[in-house]
Structure 1
Amino acid sequence: MNSCQAQRDPHTGIVRLDGEAMVFHCNHYNRFLQLVVEDCHYIRHEPILQDSAAEIAYRQLHSLFQQNPHWTPAERLAAAEIRYRYCGFGDLELSPAASGLEPAPLRLREQHSHYGCALRLNYGKRRQAGEFFDMGFAMGAVAASLDIAVHGRIASRAGEEPISMGGSQSQFLLFPAESDAHFPLDTPPPAPAELPEGADDVPERSFALHVDEDGIIEAVASLPLVGDEHGLIPAFGVTLTRHYADYYNLVSFRFERALDEALRTHKYLGEMLWYEYPSLFFYKDKFSHLQGHALARTLLIEAGHICGFNTMGGIMRSDPWYQLIVPQLRQREDWLAGIVACINALGWGVWRIAELVPNERLVLRAWYPYESLGHLRAFGRSEHPIDYLMTGIAASLMNLLYTADITQKPDLTLEFYYQVNRSKEGFWGHQTRCVAMGDPYSEVVVERNLL
């Protein structure tokens, strides 16, 4: 009754679970994107990270429960638990909420947390709990299951440190909200994205046609990429999540807007950010013109660099890659065709290689890119390109193939990442078309020292 299974649309590449668009991402991308939001001390990060999770979880589960009106609160919470584990977020126990939130606070626990473990990969010990997605999901799930407004916080005190701070479990305290101000239950779902003219005309592949993309997509879809007994998905040398596309979109675009506002109200913030974000400090030397909007864009693109290096690099070092895909490859450039075929199984839309000059230039296009679709749903048309993940991934693919030589299976360490992706001779992506701006597809051009 409460089982779940994501479904992929072969035309759009969009994968849905209970109506919500889902995309695969790894622990490195998840932790870096969160740190991008957390590390700016001039914006409030908790509403961006936690409330976005609550909003998306509530939206998905409320819709699911409307389709199953006979489910009891206990059955609803069980369904939410199953989806949390299936997607690789951890083993959050929601069943204690079945009896309600009185006496408050209600304490929920998890022994394994994707975000908790991911954040422990950072240097040094955290000073505050970081399971904001977990907390937000708990809020959204309980609100949808019990039809009540809730708010909550992560339990974090001596002897109760969460997983992200080195503890053995994470605990979340839920309280009834005195009003809907903390969590409005009547927020309407976003309208479907209004696509530009021609955006549904996905072309056939034109590059490396001997690579069986359909077979690769089917093979990737058949892999057991679901939560294990701990609710985690270890695969390709990383830990994956089947995550909400609109969680990433809300976090990214709300951060972008919050940082823009902070830059307008804090006179010297732009100069201070170079020192708060090491990646910006590096790119300052490389691209000295970065200001305003470009600061947020550079940080979000850097998250894409990290995702491309670790997830795509991990796939291209894996046994399934060598068993299924390498036998189809005739030359080095075919590695890009193979990895793009894998990407087209991840729910990110439909990507196509439009042009490739070996070791010099890549033009990558995407139809139904999840970032553009999310922006259209939540914020409408954009005045600037916003497919940040795609831009970062595209650059990392060229760096992996020609700078790192992924064909030799190098160890994908953090030090090697710095060497490869931050080389002054490395590749950089520049977005030239964007569905959120009204183009029929999004396009990224990757060249050496493009900017």
Structure 2
Amino acid sequence: MLSVDQPSSGNDSAPASTPTLPDGATNLVLAEERCHLLGPAGHTYVAHCNHYNCFLQKTLLSNKDLNMEDVLVDTAGMLFFLTFAQTFRSNQDWTEQQRLLFVEEFFKRRGYGNPKVTDAATQQTITATASHHSSGFKAKFGEQDSPQDFFLTGAIQGALMATYGCDVDVTQRQCLSMGDDRNSWAIRKHPNQSERIGEYLDEARQLRNGRQRLEHTPLPDDLPARPVTSVVRNMDLSGDEEEGLIAAFNVYLTFIPSLYYNICSTVLLNRLSEHSMSRDLGRRLLKEAGHVCGFYTLGNILQSSEYELLRKSHFGANPSEKDSMTTLFAVVNAFGWGAWTLDYLSEKEMRFTVYNSYEAYNHREFFGYADSPVCFLHTGGGEAIMNALRYGNILSYNRSIDSEYVNKVFERSDGFRAFENHCLAVDGPGNACTIQVTE
């Protein structure tokens, strides 16, 4: 639910020496009827790994004329401002320190890193010695010339604005992606100013006013391997205490507001049109980000010890190829993406259905009908799965997936292509998204 009320300043006079939070305050809960993850204030979250997050960020920033850096920061700022403002209104007895502690713990649990948000109470600088986006960007693309943690910069900004009820400027000065030993952000509060809060509230009102609440598409009664999904949801997929990073399935995971990439991708496509550039090219780039996600996220899941244990426990010691894919889909169904079901698999083709795809669901609910399919992650991921199966021998490969593996796959073939034949965002409520992957 999107609320557009301005936050109160809270109870700052209460003792703050040993702030505590209610048990489970920062948890995510799986809404099993639609396979979405619900967090504080009822907002939904999705799991994405370092490869997808960093590649998609690079894609969104690929054309400097589109000025997407501010979009990455302000979209995170707006979403986290709303999340924390609603949370704090429901807990008006929390002190300033409790609010800051909640934010700090939430960021760590969701895998963003370890920014010392509580330092904002007494200092004008926040630092982090670990950051999902900064470290991931350097590992994937090498040392950078400028800070790259746009997501966390916006998240901190929105959180502090919700905490103090006024505008706060957050500017990243140091970045692990630049070879620095930490991230640092300069913090400047404007106690008598709320212009940016007004902008965030206006954006929220636009989303709320255009919203058409959807009834979820019912899941099939025989959704395969439900116990596997339940086991994954009961795993401790939260950031470690020291660094706030989630190392699981041979990747680093984060849980990000599901609307974040919906909004950023929609803005990208709109700005391409405004600059008389190819909107279709933008769609292909977004699909390629899903393709990268498929190779590195799904591929590394298939290579992980966690996956092997889940597959054996559900299908026994000699699972078939279909059993292996069913296990993979069941793991994905714990990530908040929607529910994947495998419909058909052969040497030359794979067909699968996605119920309540978060990409299509959010687009239809907040932006209306789409003129073409919008499930870029799912279609790109489907392509990667078939390429890895047929040209990368992924089920017998026993090393982590890296660029060398991906390059070798494409040396052997032009690859499979995926097409979204039906999309909830195009066809309307009650429909599922169906994807066909062929060579």
Aligned 8 A contact 1:195 1:435 in 2: no
Alignment-mate amino acid for residue 425 of structure 2: A
2:119: which partner in 1? 96
SS of alignment partner, residue 407 of structure 1: coil
Alignment-mate amino acid for residue 328 of structure 2: I
Deviations 1:309-339 (A, max 9, x none): 1111111111122222145163222221111
Question: How far does residue 181 in structure 1 lie from its aligned partner after superposition?
Answer: 4.3
Equivalent residues in 2 for 1:327-346 (5 A)?
Answer: 328=315, 330-346=319-335
Aligned 8 A contact 1:369 1:442 in 2: yes
1:399: which partner in 2? 387
SS of alignment partner, residue 186 of structure 1: helix
Aligned 8 A contact 1:117 1:164 in 2: yes
Alignment-mate amino acid for residue 234 of structure 2: S
Question: How far does residue 395 in structure 1 lie from its aligned partner after superposition?
Answer: 1.1
Once superposed, what is the RMSD of the aligned Cα atoms? 2.1
Give the whole-Å Cα distance in 1 for the aligned partners of 2:193 and 2:274: 28
Give the whole-Å Cα distance in 2 for the aligned partners of 1:401 and 1:205: 25
Which of residues 153, 160, 173 in structure 1 aligns to 2:171?
153
Deviations 1:77-128 (A, max 9, x none): 11111100000000011112235x8xxxx21111111111001123442111
2:362: which partner in 1? 374
Give the whole-Å Cα distance in 2 for the aligned partners of 1:195 and 1:57: 21
SS of alignment partner, residue 153 of structure 2: helix
CA gap 1:372/1:5 in 2 versus in 1, 3 angstroms: same
1:85: which partner in 2? 108
1:299 paired with 2:285, answer yes
Which of residues 314, 321, 326 in structure 1 aligns to 2:300?
314
Equivalent residues in 2 for 1:205-216 (5 A)?
Answer: 205=222, 213-216=225-228
Give the whole-Å Cα distance in 2 for the aligned partners of 1:409 and 1:421: 16
SS of alignment partner, residue 140 of structure 2: coil
Aligned 8 A contact 1:28 1:310 in 2: yes
Deviations 1:214-237 (A, max 9, x none): 210111112221000210011122
SS of alignment partner, residue 52 of structure 2: helix
Alignment-mate amino acid for residue 383 of structure 1: D
Higher mean Cα deviation, 417-426 or 14-23?
Answer: 417-426
Give the whole-Å Cα distance in 2 for the aligned partners of 1:340 and 1:193: 30
Deviations 1:229-274 (A, max 9, x none): 2100111221111121111211222122222222x1xxxxx6xxxx
1:273: which partner in 2? none
Deviations 1:106-152 (A, max 9, x none): 21111111111001123442111101111101100000011112222
2:272: which partner in 1? 259
CA gap 1:80/1:307 in 2 versus in 1, 3 angstroms: same
Aligned 8 A contact 2:166 2:193 in 1: no
CA gap 1:123/1:135 in 2 versus in 1, 3 angstroms: closer
* Ranges in structure 1 where 5+ consecutive residues have no aligned partner: 156-160, 265-269, 271-291
Question: How far does residue 424 in structure 1 lie from its aligned partner after superposition?
Answer: 3.9
CA gap 1:11/1:422 in 2 versus in 1, 3 angstroms: farther
Identity of aligned residues (%): 26
2:371: which partner in 1? 383
CA gap 1:82/1:300 in 2 versus in 1, 3 angstroms: same
Equivalent residues in 2 for 1:405-444 (5 A)?
Answer: 405-411=393-399, 412-420=401-409, 424-439=413-428, 440-444=431-435
Give the whole-Å Cα distance in 2 for the aligned partners of 1:95 and 1:239: 25
Higher mean Cα deviation, 310-319 or 417-426?
Answer: 417-426
Question: How far does residue 377 in structure 1 lie from its aligned partner after superposition?
Answer: 3.7
Give the whole-Å Cα distance in 2 for the aligned partners of 1:124 and 1:67: 43
SS of alignment partner, residue 174 of structure 1: strand
Question: How far does residue 413 in structure 1 lie from its aligned partner after superposition?
Answer: 1.5
SS of alignment partner, residue 261 of structure 2: helix
Which of residues 27, 38, 41 in structure 2 aligns to 1:16?
38
CA gap 1:256/1:108 in 2 versus in 1, 3 angstroms: same
Question: How far does residue 351 in structure 1 lie from its aligned partner after superposition?
Answer: 1.5
Q: How many residue pairs end up in the alignment?
A: 404
1:52: which partner in 2? 75
CA gap 1:114/1:168 in 2 versus in 1, 3 angstroms: same
Question: How far does residue 200 in structure 1 lie from its aligned partner after superposition?
Answer: 2.3
Question: How far does residue 194 in structure 1 lie from its aligned partner after superposition?
Answer: 3.4
CA gap 1:434/1:149 in 2 versus in 1, 3 angstroms: same
Alignment-mate amino acid for residue 180 of structure 2: G
Alignment-mate amino acid for residue 185 of structure 2: F
Give the whole-Å Cα distance in 1 for the aligned partners of 2:312 and 2:380: 24
Equivalent residues in 2 for 1:24-63 (5 A)?
Answer: 24-63=47-86
Alignment-mate amino acid for residue 67 of structure 1: S
Question: How far does residue 8 in structure 1 lie from its aligned partner after superposition?
Answer: 0.4
* Ranges in structure 2 where 5+ consecutive residues have no aligned partner: 1-20
TM-score norm. by structure 1 comes to 0.84
1:231: which partner in 2? 244
Give the whole-Å Cα distance in 1 for the aligned partners of 2:121 and 2:337: 35
Give the whole-Å Cα distance in 2 for the aligned partners of 1:12 and 1:421: 35
1:132: which partner in 2? 150
CA gap 1:6/1:443 in 2 versus in 1, 3 angstroms: same
SS of alignment partner, residue 79 of structure 1: helix
